[in-house]
């Protein structure tokens, strides 16, 4: 029989401060699953009106699903976070878009009516588990020339993107990177980032016990001059440096999604509504171009154009990847709608966790900009993919809920 799909809303999102991967990083002796657990517990703490048994699914992403990032992480994290044993969970892997995929997966299930409320997020402890640890790529993918060997090295794919789009110069990338650092520093000064963060108790062999309260990777005060002299590790005389790309990082994110009806029934805030999403495949050698066709497909499916998008949260895996996106859609490098609080070049990119960071920041920005109706979160994905999610701002004058509520919040 015919059925009506439910509207899906993003209720709230949180993340740990992002750390630098390695023995000196803040999370060097912190388990990856404990980072996720901290985020889930914080979501529940922030929404006391939500009975834990109402959470019907937990989907957690990790790119390297091994050790403390393995063993069906969504289920393990759910149990350790204090959710009831009746709450199921699972793991997701779509490399950098893991958390984004966890969100779209559970949103689709909510829309279909399989359940009403779910947690989605991601974690990457690149210090404990470097990308590619323990993997065994089938040699036929290279031997049969399905891909060039450079497709398996993300920095090399960024250099390939520079080859294909020579107008995206190293100078432009460095300038974009400086802008990311500057915007993040300003956002911290203005108190924009702190509401998203969950403090994490840490322990370090040399420093002892500590408390992570702010991101570790940012380099405020970065200048064009300081970036110009950095090495290009992926190619002699190349373009990609540690200054115009995201680093190797540790961190976790989680968010709460609900049907619009369930959110209204429980008095949960609707920070934004999911409009449409898309994942596409592209040539693995230039994976950074992936957000372009993914965005085009999502816009087409939603009946919108790029001019309808008033805020962009684009993952800055590499500056060249963002700039090719902006060039394609005719958007200036310094457009204030793009990553207004900085991006991954400054804050870090713990792979599978980053998608929810983009969404959480967009939700906060929607609340500050009721004049903006639609926003976009998009990212490139290793092995040649792109992902994009379009969201609607419930604070906009033209937003129409699919349900009517009374003044006390009951449907």
Name, in order, each residue with C-beta under 8 angstroms of 190's C-beta and a sequence gap of 6 or more. Answer: none
pLDDT for 113: 96
Residue 215 and residue 185: Cα distance in Å, rounded? 11
Residue with tokens 């693995």: 284
94: how many CB neighbours lie within 10 A of its CB?
Answer: 24
- State yes or no: is 328 an active-site residue: no
> Would you give the DSSP letter of residue 291?
H
Question: DSSP E strands: which ranges in 265-343?
Answer: 272-281, 309-314
What pLDDT digit, counting tens, does each position of 255-304 carry? 999 999 999 999 999 999 999 999 999 999 999 999 999 999 999 999 99
- Per-residue pLDDT at 198: 98
239 is catalytic: no
Of 96, 129, 173, 255, which is the active-site residue? 96
In this structure, whether the domain defined by 8-128+139-392 belongs to CATH 3.30.1050.10 is answered with no
Render 243-277 in DSSP notation, one character per residue: SSB---EEEEEEEEEEEHHHHHHHT----EEEEEE
Give the Cα separation of 411 and 406 in Å (integer): 6
Residue of 129, 328, 349, 369 with catalytic role: 349
- pLDDT tens-digit readout, 234-254: 999 999 999 999 999 999 999
Confidence of residue 134 (pLDDT cuts 50, 70, 90): confident
- Going by pLDDT thresholds of 50, 70 and 90, the confidence category of residue 406 is very low
Is the predicted pLDDT of residue 72 greater than 90, yes or no? yes
The tens digit of pLDDT for each residue in 143-172 reads 998 999 999 999 999 999 999 999 999 999
Return the ∠ at Cα 183 (arms to 177 and 185), rounded to 5°. Answer: 105
For the chain, what are the domain ranges?
8-128+139-392
Q: Is 380 a catalytic residue?
A: yes
Q: Which residue has the tokens 């008033």?
A: 310
Q: How many of the other CB atoms lie within 10 Å of CB of 370?
A: 13
Residue 408 confidence (pLDDT): 44
pLDDT for residue 96 is more than 60: yes
Decide if pLDDT at 53 tops 60.
Answer: yes
pLDDT at 205: 74
pLDDT of 1: 56
The tens digit of pLDDT for each residue in 207-237 reads 789 999 999 999 999 999 999 999 999 999 9
pLDDT attached to residue 403? 78
Phi, psi angle pair for 182, to nearest 5°:
-65, -40
Q: What is the pLDDT of residues 337-382, one digit of tens each?
A: 999 999 999 999 999 999 999 999 999 999 999 999 999 999 999 9
pTM score, whole prediction: 0.96
Quickly tell me which residue has 């920005």 as its tokens: 365
Mean pLDDT score of the chain: 95
Question: Residue 76: pLDDT above 70?
Answer: yes
What's the confidence (pLDDT) of residue 2? 61
- 410: pLDDT confidence band, cut at 50, 70 and 90? very low
Give the chain's end-to-end CA distance (angstroms, integer): 25
Which long-range contacts link 283-286 to residues 24+ away (Cβ below 8 Å)? 283/151, 283/384, 284/147, 284/148, 284/151, 284/152, 284/157, 284/383, 284/384, 285/147, 285/148, 285/150, 285/151, 285/157, 285/160, 285/384, 286/157, 286/160, 286/161, 286/164, 286/384
Quote the CA–CA distance of 104 and 100 in Å, as a whole number. Answer: 6
Q: Is pLDDT at 404 greater than 80 in this prediction?
A: no
**Distance separating alpha carbons of residues 179 and 342, to the nearest angstrom:** 7
Q: What torsion, rounded to 10 degrees, do the Cα atoms 159, 165, 166, 170 define?
A: -50
């Amino acid at each position: 029989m015919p059925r009506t799909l439910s509207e899906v809303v993003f209720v709230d999102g949180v993340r740990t401060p992002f750390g630098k991967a390695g023995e000196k990083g803040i999370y060097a002796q912190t388990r990856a699953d404990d980072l996720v657990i901290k985020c889930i517990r914080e979501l529940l703490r922030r929404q006391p009106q939500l009975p834990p048994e109402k959470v019907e699914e937990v989907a957690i992403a990790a790119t390297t699903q091994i050790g403390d990032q393995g063993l069906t992480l969504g289920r393990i994290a759910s149990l350790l976070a204090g959710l009831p044993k009746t709450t199921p969970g699972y793991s997701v892997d779509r490399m950098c878009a893991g958390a984004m995929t966890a969100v779209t997966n559970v949103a689709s299930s909510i829309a279909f009516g399989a359940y009403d409320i779910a947690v989605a997020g991601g974690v990457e402890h690149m210090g404990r588990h470097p990308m590619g640890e323990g993997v065994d790529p089938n040699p036929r993918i290279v031997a049969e020339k399905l891909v060039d060997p450079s497709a398996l090295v993300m920095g090399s794919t960024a250099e390939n993107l520079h080859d294909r789009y020579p107008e995206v110069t190293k100078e432009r990338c460095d300038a974009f990177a400086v802008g990311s650092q500057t915007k993040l520093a300003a956002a911290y000064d203005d108190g924009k980032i702190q509401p998203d963060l969950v403090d994490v108790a840490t322990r370090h062999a040399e420093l002892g016990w500590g408390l992570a309260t702010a991101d570790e990777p940012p380099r405020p005060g970065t200048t064009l001059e300081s970036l110009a002299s950095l090495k290009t590790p992926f190619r002699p005389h190349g373009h990609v440096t540690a200054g115009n790309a995201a680093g190797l990082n540790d961190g976790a994110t989680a968010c709460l999604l609900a049907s619009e009806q369930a959110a209204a029934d429980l008095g949960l805030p609707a920070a934004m509504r999911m409009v449409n999403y898309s994942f596409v495949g592209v040539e693995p050698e230039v994976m950074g171009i992936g957000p372009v066709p993914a965005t085009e497909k999502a816009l087409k499916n939603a009946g919108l154009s790029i001019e309808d998008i008033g805020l962009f949260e684009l993952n800055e895996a590499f500056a060249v990847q963002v700039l090719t996106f902006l060039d394609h859609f005719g958007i200036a490098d310094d457009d204030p709608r793009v990553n207004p609080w900085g991006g991954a070049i400054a804050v870090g990119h713990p792979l599978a966790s980053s998608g929810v960071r983009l969404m959480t920041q967009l939700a906060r920005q929607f609340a500050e900009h009721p004049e903006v109706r639609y926003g976009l979160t998009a990212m490139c994905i290793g092995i040649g993919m792109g992902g994009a999610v379009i969201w609607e701002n419930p604070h906009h004058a033209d937003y129409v809920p699919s349900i009517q509520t009374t003044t006390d919040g009951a449907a």
